């Protein structure tokens, strides 16, 4: 009987220790989640403060922010240029021989090697000519 009494006591103790560790682990996870949420809120508020400052002072910023505003403007211009390039690169045409989609700027199909039809090249030339005319008129 002493064996079963000792076994019961050991199992009870082990169960209590396991329950305490599980509660501690749950408390740690809850606290880590609260910390993560607080950090996200701080990041969001900091972002909103920055956006508000930019909106209010884009034209009349303080000298301490000059480098940041200059970098921001250059980055925005570079982003706009890259988005234009992506738009141009994303335009697709279909190969008349094999049906493979390819960028509109392609001269040959990357799948079968067929030359892009002359009609596509004419359309590109017409687009360039119309852009030149618009530039001439605006000058």
pTM, 2 dp: 0.46
Q: How far apart are CA 47 and CA 35, in angstroms?
A: 18
Per-residue pLDDT of the chain (139 residues; tens, 9 = 90+): 788 888 888 889 999 999 999 999 999 999 999 999 999 999 999 999 999 999 999 888 888 899 999 999 999 999 999 988 877 767 888 888 898 988 877 888 989 998 887 654 545 555 666 566 555 555 5
Closest CA to 120 of 90, 93, 84: 93
Q: Which two tokens stand for residue 106?
A: 């392609």
For residue 84, the model assigns a pLDDT of 84
């Amino acid at each position: 009987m002493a064996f079963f009494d000792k076994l019961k006591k050991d199992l009870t103790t082990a169960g209590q220790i396991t329950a305490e560790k599980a509660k501690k682990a749950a408390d740690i996870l809850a606290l880590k989640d609260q910390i993560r949420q607080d950090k996200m809120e701080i990041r969001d508020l900091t972002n909103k403060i920055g956006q508000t400052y930019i909106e209010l002072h884009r034209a009349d910023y303080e000298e301490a922010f000059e480098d940041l505003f200059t970098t921001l403007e250059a980055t925005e211009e570079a982003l706009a240029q890259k988005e234009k390039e992506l738009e141009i690169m994303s335009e697709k045409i279909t190969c008349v021989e094999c049906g493979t989609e390819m960028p509109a700027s392609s001269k040959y199909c990357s799948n079968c090697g067929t030359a892009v039809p002359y009609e596509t090249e004419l359309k590109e030339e017409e687009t360039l000519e119309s852009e030149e005319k618009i530039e001439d008129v605006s000058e």
